[in-house]
Amino acid sequence: EGSRVAASAGPAAQAWGAAAPQAQPQPTRPVPAPAFTAPGSREEDVQQATNVRKKIAENMLRSRHSAAHCATWDEVDMTNLVTLRARLKERVKATYGVGLTYMPFIVKAVVRALRESPVLNASMTEGGEIHFKKYYNIGVAVHRDSGLIVPVLHDADRKTLLQLAQEIEDLGNRARADKLQLSDIQGGTFTITNAGMFGATASTPIINYPEVGVLGVHLIQERPVVRDHRIVIRHMMTLVLSFDHRLVDGTPAVQFLHRVKELLEDPESWLLDSI
């Protein structure tokens, strides 16, 4: 009978000497309130768009409506180029007074790849004419407070690495000071935009119509990758090519991007031919 009483009392009655439930601790202070007060009404600051911003909006909308946008990605091992630039930049600055960024190297690689993929250096009219450009005017997008602008490196194929570095620096400075001439922003055949300077690891840039391709370059960062069945740390960068699928099919687009990748990964194999 005693065992029946214990069973009916449940587990708590059997756990002789169990501690009584603890009381919940009381808070010592209230949850802090923000130091600022939210406005009673939702305020807006209304500004008229500048003429530059209106023009950019018109061009971007025209590009989106006129070109058949498509994009392809690839990862580039920039380790050799990072090492090469680190070895050269102080000497170039001291000798020529020019800052050696990665962009001149990228421009050189792009021009070389465009020669092998002429359809990426072309344009297409609304009437169906295809214009294959036999000159290489490379636009390099520059961010300004008043909006993005794309000054052009005219005849980039005829300039040395240091000339490109000097011109990129000059165009960038004049763009930010609103001192570009009309000729500085006209006549581009292909564009490069660098979202990596703001920390972006990937993006899909809009084509600078009527061009048919724009290359997005991004942040160079150390990443773990596999080399010879081993995980190693390399300086990697994502390349993104946006292209106009009306004219450029996937095969030449991927081939062009892969060629740029090959050139950037092994710069010393070709730079001596084009410095």
145 noted as active-site residue: no
245 noted as active-site residue: yes
Tens digits of per-residue pLDDT, 1-60?
444 444 444 554 455 555 667 778 888 888 887 776 666 666 888 988 888 778 888 888
Mean pLDDT (the chain) is 89
Question: What pLDDT is recorded for position 123?
Answer: 95
Lowest mean pLDDT among 52-66, 153-167, 208-222, 248-262: 52-66
> What string of DSSP letters covers the chain?
-HHHHHHHH-HHHHSTTPPPPPPPPPPSSPPPPPSS---SS------PPPHHHHHHHHHHHHHHHHS-EEEEEEEEE-HHHHHHHHHHHHHHHHHH-----SHHHHHHHHHHHHHH-GGGGEEE-TTS-EEE-SS--EEE-B--TT--B--EETTGGGS-HHHHHHHHHHHHHHHHTT---GGGGS--SEEEEE-GGGT-S---PPP-TTBSEEEEE---EEEEEEETTEEEEEEEEEEEEEEETTT--HHHHHHHHHHHHHHHHSGGGTGGGT-
Question: What pLDDT is recorded for position 159?
Answer: 96
Tens digits of per-residue pLDDT, 130-141?
999 999 999 999
pTM here? 0.83
Name the catalytic one among 249, 258, 266, 273: 249
Name the catalytic one among 245, 258, 266, 273: 245
